[in-house]
Every structure is written in C-alpha cells, then in structure tokens.
Amino acid sequence: MPELPEVETVRRGLEPAMVGARFTKVTQRRPDLRFPFPERFSERIEGQEVKALGRRAKYLLADLSSGEVLVMHLGMSGRFLVTRDGATRVPGEFHHEHGGLGAHDHVIFQLSNGATVTYNDARRFGFMDLVPRSEIETSKHFASMGIEPLGNELSGETIARLFAGKRTPLKAALLDQRLIAGLGNIYVCEALFRTGLHPEAPAGSLVNKTGEPTDKAHQLADIIRDVLAEAVEAGGSTLRDHAQVDGSLGYFQHSFRVYDRENEPCLTPDCTGTITRLVQSGRSTFYCPECQKRS
Ligand SMILES: [Zn+2]
C-alpha cells in the first residue's frame, strides 16, 4: 500500500504532466473502482484545466478550472503511468515498456500538452471523486480527517492538544487518522524509535500536568516530519536517477532503522539492544527495548 511519502512522490511526478494543461479526452473503462465513479465523470473533466495538484494525507487533489476538485486515492495497488514523447514513466516506480492498454488500466487522461496519464490498479481499492472546491473540507473524504503530518500544523503543542488525557498506546494514537492523517505503520515505528519513545506508552504521557507538551512531544513532532521528508526526498532522488533504476521504488526500505528488522541488532551507536517485534491492534510494531524504555 502506498504510504504518504510515496503519494507525495507520485504527486511530484504527476505535477509537470498535469498542471497548466487541459484534459482533452478522458476515457473511463469501468463503472467503478472501490466505489462507483461520480456521475458524468469524463464529461465533467474534459475541457477543464488543472490549476494545481495538491495532496491531503494519502489523497491527490487536482483543482480544475470548473471549480471542482478531482479527488484521487491509490488504494492498495493504484499507480499512474505518464506517457510523454513516446516514453512511459510511473511516478514512484519505473516502467520502461508500455505497449497498448493493459487489463488494469482503468482511466486514461489525455492532456493538451501531449501527455497521457493512465491510472492502473490491479486490486481496485483506489477510487476517484469530484467535489466542489468550496465543499472539500466538509466532504466525506476529509470531514473527520486529522492534521497533515508534513505541514506546519504538526508541533509539540498540537501533539499535546491531541493526546492530552489519552491512555491509548502512543503507536495507536499516532495511527489514528482522525488525529494525524496519513501516518502509516512503517513511519510511526521509525519516528518512535528515533525519539526514544516506547510504542506502548500512553499517548497522554507526552503532555505534562499543566497541558504543556513535554520535550519528547516537541522532538516527536520534528522527527515525524524529518522521517517523512527523508522518505519523500529518497523517492525524489530515485525519480531523478530513473535511468539507472529498473525496479520498483517500494517502501524506501534501505532507510529503515527498525521496521522489519526483528532480531537484528539496534543501529544506535553503543546500544546492545535487539530489535523486537510486538503486535498492537493486529499490526507489527518494531522497536528497541533499550532505546525505547517505557518511562
Ligand atoms: Zn537500541
């Protein structure tokens, strides 16, 4: 499943192909993906210019000149293929040969700049919607969504406000999309490790008695942003170096310090700990019991 940094990498890859261009033809090849397409989908998009391509959590948002926003979610296996000047690229991974339409090519956007953007999704957990710009924040997609972890909103103060009084384990609170939107399992494990916080510590332990953020709360906010920004940067550099890369970008695994490293030695200098796995809410948590003490 693409995590937030991969979605941001995809956004950056799509931006030059879409922004400032008009949709000249939109081909929708099935009535639904995870959900039905909105009514008159292609008709509402054709002829519109893409004013901007944004991202909110794991959603891509294309602002159309009609005042509607094309909302796109990649689900589990969605990806975009960009064909321009005879070459096909998949933002977030690389795809050298793309002859004709594949079975899983569900939407084909043709743009006035000559680019073709194809949405491919083998498992069809992705979806698309059209929402008026003025209603985007209150739409079903975003109404109960928490703050954006890559933005300036995430701070020690915000963490204190969101986590005050909560006995929920820190890991679960960080994965709660109603509090912070788009933080996935991998990046939460990494951020807790780098901050030296135990994943089962109560979320409220980051707030002192007067409601102020603890030092660890400030550190955690900075580290979450760093971990995500590093992953976006890794995706971006792989995009730039695509001539030497023929595999999938995947989950930037080379940079993980704890995720999926059960029984391997901790990478903190001088730490003799061993990375340990525990299961929280049905999902694996990886941590170092030496670096991440409970109190
Ligand atoms: Zn350690």
The reply to whether 166 and 111 lie within a common domain is no
Residue 56 lies in a domain: yes
Helix (H, G, I), strand (E, B) or coil at 188: helix
Cα separation of the two ends of the chain:
33
Residue 12 lies in a domain: yes
The reply to whether 115 and 160 lie within a common domain is no
Question: How many CB atoms neighbour CB 217 within 10 A?
Answer: 23
Whether the CB-CB separation of 201 and 170 falls below 8 Å is answered with yes
The reply to whether 22 and 106 lie within a common domain is yes
pLDDT of residue 203: 97
Longest dimension (CA), the chain: 63
The reply to whether 123 and 165 lie within a common domain is no
How far does the centroid of ligand 1 lie from the alpha carbon of residue 269, in Å?
8
Give the Cα separation of 215 and 173 in Å (integer): 18
pLDDT of residue 237: 56
In terms of pLDDT, which residue wins out, 75 or 250? Answer: 75
pLDDT of residue 283: 92
How far does the centroid of ligand 1 lie from the alpha carbon of residue 50, in Å?
47
Return residues with CB closer than 5 A to ligand 1 (ion). Answer: 266, 268, 271, 273, 288, 290-291
Query: How many domains, in total, are found in the chain?
Result: 2
pLDDT band at 238 (very low <50, low <70, confident <90, very high): low
pLDDT tens-place string over residues 81-137: 888 877 776 666 544 445 567 888 999 999 999 999 999 898 999 999 999 999 999
How far does the centroid of ligand 1 lie from the alpha carbon of residue 201, in Å?
17
The reply to whether 61 and 167 lie within a common domain is no
Give the Cα separation of 256 and 234 in Å (integer): 12
Residue 64: HSE in the Cβ half-sphere, 13 Å Cα cutoff: 22
User: What average pLDDT score do residues 221-250 get?
Assistant: 65
pLDDT of residue 246: 30
How far does the centroid of ligand 1 lie from the alpha carbon of residue 223, in Å?
17
pLDDT of residue 93: 55
The answer to whether residue 214 scores a pLDDT higher than 80 is: yes
The reply to whether 128 and 234 lie within a common domain is no
Q: Does residue 166 have a known ligand-binding role?
A: yes
Of 104, 135, 166, at which residue does a domain stop?
A: 135
Above pLDDT 90, what percent of the chain? 70
In terms of pLDDT, which residue wins out, 80 or 110? Answer: 110
Give the Cα separation of 23 and 111 in Å (integer): 5
The answer to whether residue 14 scores a pLDDT higher than 50 is: yes
pLDDT of residue 111: 97
pLDDT of residue 114: 93
The answer to whether residue 275 scores a pLDDT higher than 90 is: yes
pLDDT of residue 236: 60
Residue 295 lies in a domain: no
pLDDT of residue 125: 94
How far does the centroid of ligand 1 lie from the alpha carbon of residue 294, in Å?
13
What is the reported pTM?
A: 0.86
The answer to whether residue 224 scores a pLDDT higher than 80 is: yes
pLDDT tens-place string over residues 278-294: 999 899 999 999 999 98
The answer to whether residue 21 scores a pLDDT higher than 60 is: yes
Tell me which residues are annotated as active site. 2-3, 58, 283
Whether the CB-CB separation of 52 and 96 falls below 8 Å is answered with no
Domain span at residue 211 reads: 156-287
User: What average pLDDT score do residues 29-47 get?
Assistant: 97
Q: Which two tokens stand for residue 109?
A: 């956007």
Share the mean pLDDT of the chain. 89
The answer to whether residue 12 scores a pLDDT higher than 90 is: no
Helix (H, G, I), strand (E, B) or coil at 123: coil
Q: Does residue 84 have a known ligand-binding role?
A: no
Long-range contact pairs involving 174-180 (C-beta distance under 8 Å, separation at least 24): 174/203, 174/224, 175/281, 175/283, 176/146, 177/57, 177/145, 177/146, 178/144, 178/145, 178/146, 179/146, 179/147, 180/146, 180/147, 180/149, 180/154, 180/224
Residue 111 lies in a domain: yes
How far does the centroid of ligand 1 lie from the alpha carbon of residue 264, in Å?
10
Residue 265 DSSP code = B
Q: Does residue 198 have a known ligand-binding role?
A: no
Helix (H, G, I), strand (E, B) or coil at 275: coil
pLDDT of residue 200: 97
Strand locations in 145-295 (E): 276-280, 283-287
pLDDT band at 245 (very low <50, low <70, confident <90, very high): very low
pLDDT band at 232 (very low <50, low <70, confident <90, very high): confident
Residue 163 lies in a domain: yes
The reply to whether 125 and 184 lie within a common domain is no
Give the Cα separation of 236 and 157 in Å (integer): 30
pLDDT of residue 242: 37
